């Protein structure tokens, strides 16, 4: 066999080997993308979301403006002034510097808590609403198995908290009572109370 034929055969073998290696790499990686060849198994990573992250329950930064007071800022964000003082370690809360950045802690979540959640007729329970609007007028409605009782309105504090008590009458029927807090600025929350007959 001539040297020219031997060289052609050798080149053909090398080409076949190279093509086989490329095919093997493509099968191994599960892709026909030449840029990924030899990189090993690929994993899919989701693109970052373009939606802004939720701000509920997270502190925010506030730049102090001319005329701001600690009380006005607290009322604006529905938190107590003391919470802002603690979050920023303010030594003199009566003097705010215009242009300074304050960390505003998250406002309490909207929630109605009854303590204790189980009581007997004639015993009082404490109703605590958080997350209302500052200075919002809130009434508590108690739905019992025999009717509905609506208490007098209460004004929410600067951090949106309202506290009151409720006492089922001695003759109140046992069962599950639904307590609903309703504010004149749209706040609504409810919780359940278990009332049992008194032990004589």
How is residue 16 written in tokens?
A: 């076949």
Cβ-count burial 59-79 (b if 16+ within 10 Å, e if not): eeebebeeebebeebbbebbb
Question: How many structural domains comprise the chain?
Answer: 3
Whether the CB-CB separation of 120 and 198 falls below 8 Å is answered with yes
Q: Is the pTM of this model over 0.85?
A: no
DSSP 17: H
Does residue 72 lie within any of the structural domains? yes
Within its chain, how far is the Cα of 47 from the centroid? 23
Statement to judge: residues 158 and 181 lie in one domain = yes
User: Residue range 169-179: average pLDDT?
Assistant: 95
> Is residue 78 located within the same domain as residue 121?
no
pLDDT at 14: 42
Residues 100 and 115 reside in one and the same domain: no
Domain that holds residue 185: 111-196
**What helix, strand, coil percent values describe the chain, rounded to 5?**
25, 30, 50
Residue of 107 and 59 predicted with greater confidence: 59
User: What confidence score (pLDDT) does residue 200 get?
Assistant: 65
CATH code of the domain in which 64 resides = 3.10.350.10
Whether 150 and 184 map to the same domain: the answer is yes
Do 99 and 175 reside in the same domain of the chain?
Answer: no
Same domain as 161, residue 122: yes
Summarised one tens digit per residue, pLDDT across range 9-54 is: 444 444 444 444 434 433 434 433 333 333 332 222 222 333 233 3
What is the sign of the dihedral through the CA atoms of 54, 59, 64 and 70?
positive
pLDDT value, residue 108:
85
Write out pLDDT tens, residues 118-163: 999 999 999 999 999 889 999 999 999 999 999 999 999 888 899 9
70 and 122 inside one domain: no
- Please report whether residue 65 resides in a domain: yes
Within a domain: residue 130? yes
Q: How do residues 51-79 score in pLDDT, each as one tens digit?
A: 233 334 789 999 999 999 999 998 888 88
CA separation for the pair 53, 91 (Å, rounded): 32
Return the pLDDT at 87: 95
Confidence of residue 165 (pLDDT cuts 50, 70, 90): very high
CB atoms under 10 Å from CB of 13, counted, come to 10
In this predicted structure, what is the pLDDT of residue 42?
Answer: 28
Mean pLDDT of 175-190: 97
% of the chain surpassing 70 pLDDT:
72
- If you average pLDDT over residues 183-200, what whole number do you get? 93
In the prediction, which pLDDT does 169 show?
93
Say if residue 119 is in the same domain as residue 173: yes
Residues 10 and 68 in one domain: no
Within a domain: 41: no
What was the pLDDT predicted at 34?
A: 36
Decide if pLDDT at 97 tops 50.
yes
Residue 190, pLDDT score: 97
């Amino acid at each position: 066999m001539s040297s020219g034929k031997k060289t052609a055969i050798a080149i053909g073998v090398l080409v076949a080997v190279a093509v086989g290696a490329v095919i093997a790499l493509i099968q191994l990686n599960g892709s026909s993308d030449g840029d990924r060849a030899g990189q090993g198994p690929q994993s899919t990573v989701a693109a970052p979301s373009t939606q802004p992250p939720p701000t509920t329950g997270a502190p925010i930064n506030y730049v102090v403006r001319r005329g701001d007071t600690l009380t006005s800022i607290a009322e604006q964000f529905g938190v107590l002034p003391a919470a802002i003082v603690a979050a920023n370690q303010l030594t003199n809360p009566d003097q705010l510097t215009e242009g300074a950045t304050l960390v505003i802690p998250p406002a309490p979540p909207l929630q109605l808590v009854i303590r204790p959640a189980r009581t007997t007729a004639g015993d009082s329970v404490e109703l605590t609403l958080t997350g209302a609007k500052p200075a919002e007028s809130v009434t508590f409605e108690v739905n019992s198995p025999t009717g509905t009782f609506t208490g007098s309105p209460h004004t929410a504090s600067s951090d949106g908290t309202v506290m009151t008590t409720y006492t089922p009458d001695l003759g109140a029927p046992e069962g599950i009572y639904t307590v609903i807090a309703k504010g004149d600025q749209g706040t609504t929350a409810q919780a359940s109370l278990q009332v049992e007959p008194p032990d004589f």
